[in-house]
Structure 1
Amino acid sequence: MQLEWLEDFIELARTRSLSRAAEIRCVTHPAFGRRIRALEDWVGVPLIERKQPLSLTPAGLLFLDAASQSMELLLAARAQFQTIGLNRDQPLRIATGRTLARVFFPDWYQSLHQRFGAFPVSLVTGGAQEAILKLTAGEVDLQLIYSSPLTRILVDAERFDSKVLAQEQLVPVSAPDESGQPRFAIGPDSDDSSIAWLGLSPSLSLRGVLAQHLAKLPQRLALRMIYQADSYEAILEMAKRGSGLAWLPGMVVKDALAAGELVLAGGSELHIPFDVSLHRLRANRSEQVMRIWEGLDPV
């Protein structure tokens, strides 16, 4: 029996969807199904009812409780062992996104040094789902991500502690025209059907924040997406070149706005709030992690 089979089963029990659980666990649907069957073979009884909607068998419900407790105990034991011989040379492992690593982390890291003294950090970057998986597996101590509908689903409040470190906004921006006005703008006099849009790829966590906000607007915006990317920086460069309208985090566009390379392209009703959040697996109570966590002041 492999530990990843327990993690697969716990995720399947949470999502009640083989395809969704396979996506979150970053494996193909057929491979995920084989791993669940291998676990059932090891247990000796069926654990799930293979019908729609998917549900757990009575044995599956009992096994879920045992699997969850076992994973918590193993992760707690691992964290405890990692504190043996702990010293300041052991890095604090943090998973975050590429953009946050560039525009948020350096200043935040400096503020931590000022409050807690110097300590080493090992930073790994990737997508939000990848960061959550690394945290769940105990491969990192903390994760620093943009809060979104997706991350709020994936970050189980019973297993993770969370703190909001900063409040941010997605703002609509455009390159200016010759008069300094936005080349692409949304307003009462704009022709929305002509607005070229630089979109966020589905892998970006803030895509859900944007989609949720636009869906609640009184009038649908007839945006014409001409480009999308899985990098906020790539979208920023296209916006600066006048390719279209983009919604981007304020911390990403502040320098371009100050330099006049971009201007705001919509009113305050199109400024979309979101949080920068820090998460910790509750089972990880190493001295180093708790010293930082308990000393932070949430927003």
Structure 2
Amino acid sequence: MQLTWLEDFVELARTRSFSRAAENRFVTHPAFGRRIHALEQWVGAELVARTQPVSLTPAGLLFLDAASHTIDVLHAVRAQLQDTVQNSGETLRIATGRTLARTFFPGWYETINQRFGPFPVSVSTGGAQEVILRLASGDVDLLVIYSSPSTRLLIDPQRYESVTLAREMLLPVCAADAKGRPKFRLPATNPATPIPWLGFSQSLTLRGVLAKHLAGLPQKLSLHMVYQADSYESILEMAKRGAGLAWLPQSLVQEDLKQGNLLLVGDADMRVGFDISLYRMRGNSNALVKAIWDGVSSDAIDDN
């Protein structure tokens, strides 16, 4: 069976005329008829009623849907494969977290573009485990991710190398009360009344970073989880609405702090430092990856 036969059949169904379909397909009328007959032999059923105008048999109506879908899928896949071949070795494939894609990546990409010259990039986002798997499977060349105890456990240093791109802070924030003061205090004014806490779901990388910090405080905080989500942006919106206290990345909350939508809570001991790291598989032979890696490594702090 040939793709040409399917395209002939779809054109015949559209025009309902052998002569017009043959003309549109740039073949002679007899040759076109032979191709339709060959398709019917391959299918094992009569597809076309040779009437004036041409009509489709019940089998032909059923087969038309399959033929149209097959043509669309094959052309789409061919276009995708051609694009992949044309851009092979030129497009930098990077995976990162959804929040980092909004807060950190645009500025970092602009910087490396200015430094190494313009180049195309393909960015995919997801949860920590999802983007780490993309690096492990070879679907991406580089991984930009929050560094935490959990990510360091998931990423084998024997297979992957990393550099620190930036330092970040988790800041404790909340909305203001009617008098413009923080709605919640750290530590709690009344230890018997836990502070409503907007927390991270297990899938979020920074959950482990925050848990480690809170466990190391000299005095345990009285917190009551009232909301948790697998999205830093969702937690941000709940904090702005006054639903509770949240620790969020500084880059995510800095505009809301400037505008007064959120206020800092507690002293410096309540702020949590962490890294944004870049990972690649050892031995990656992509020239663009190597050039960027060598460049950022020269002014980054090695995590290994």
TM norm structure 1: 0.69
CA distance in 1, matches of 2:163, 2:225: 34
Are 2:97 and 2:127, in contact at CA under 8 Å, matched by a contact in 1? yes
1:93 matches 2:86: no
Distance, in Å, in 2 between the alignment partners of 1:129 and 1:208 is 14
Residue 193 of structure 1, CA deviation:
2.9
Aligned CA RMSD, in angstroms, stands at: 1.7
2:300 is aligned with what amino acid? P
Unaligned runs of 5+ in 2: 1-84
Call closer, same or farther: CA 1:140–1:192 in 2, change over 3 Å.
farther
**Residue number in structure 2 paired with 1:17:** none
Q: Which residue of 2 aligns with 1:295?
A: 295
Shift of 1:191: 3.6
Report if the CA contact (8 A) 1:192-1:223 is conserved.
no
Q: Give the direction of change, closer, same or farther, for the CA distance of 1:187–1:221 in structure 2 (3 Å limit).
A: closer
- Is the CA contact 1:89–1:119 (under 8 Å) kept in the aligned structure 2? no
Partner of 1:208: 208
Q: CA deviation at 1:136?
A: 1.0
Output the amino acid matched with 1:113: N
Q: Matches of residues 125-274 of structure 1 in structure 2 within 5 Å? A: 125-187=125-187, 189-191=189-191, 193-274=193-274
Partners in 2 of 1:134 and 1:118 — Cα distance?
24
Looking at structure 1, the residues matched to 191 and 181 of structure 2 have their Cα atoms a distance apart, in angstroms, of 15
Q: SS in structure 1 opposite 2:203? A: coil
- Provide Cα deviations, 1:249-276, integer angstroms capped at 9, x if missing partner: 0001000000000000111101000000
The change in CA–CA distance for 1:192 and 1:100 in structure 2 (over 3 A counts) is: farther
Residues 273 and 192 of structure 1, relative CA distance in 2, 3 Å threshold: farther
Q: Which runs of 5+ in 1 are unaligned?
A: 1-84
Whole-angstrom distance in 2 between the partners of 1:101 and 1:134: 16
Going from structure 1 to structure 2, the CA distance change for 1:166 and 1:190 (only over 3 Å counts) comes to farther
Distance across 1 between alignment mates of 2:153 and 2:196: 31
Moved over 6 A (4+): 85-89
Deviation at 1:142, TM superposition (A): 0.2
* Equivalent position SS for 1:279: strand
- Partner amino acid, structure 1, of 2:290: M
Distance change in 2, residues 1:291/1:232 (3 Å): same
1:109 counterpart residue number: 109
2-structure distance, mates of 1:274, 1:193: 30
Question: Residue 285 of structure 1: CA displacement?
Answer: 2.1
| Amino acid in the other structure paired with 1:140 | V
Query: Per-residue deviation at 1:287?
Result: 0.5
Q: CA deviation at 1:154?
A: 1.2
Give yes or no for contact 1:186–1:265 (8 Å, CA) kept in 2: yes
Which residue type is aligned with residue 298 of structure 1? A
Shift of residue 130, structure 1, vs aligned partner: 1.2
Q: Which of these two proteins has the greater Rg computed from alpha carbons?
A: 2
Q: Percent identity?
A: 56
Shift of the alpha carbon at 1:201?
Answer: 0.5
Give TM-score scaled by structure 2 length. Answer: 0.68
1:93 CA displacement: 0.3
Q: Is the 8 A contact 1:88 1:119 kept in 2?
A: no
Deviations 1:134-168 (A, max 9, x none): 11111100000000000011111111110100000
**Is the contact made by 1:187 and 1:267 (CA closer than 8 Å) also made in structure 2?**
no
Equivalent pairs counted in the alignment come to: 215
> Counterparts of 1:170 and 1:219 in 2: how far apart (Å)?
19
Question: What is the deviation of 1:87?
Answer: 6.8
> Does the 8 A contact of 2:188 with 2:194 survive in 1?
no
The answer to which of 218-227 and 201-210 deviates more is 218-227
Q: Does 1:124 align with 2:124?
A: yes
- 1:192 to 1:263, Cα distance in 2 relative to 1, 3 A: farther
CA contact (8 A) 1:174 1:264 kept: yes
Q: Quote the Cα distance in structure 2 between the aligned partners of 1:116 and 1:200.
A: 37
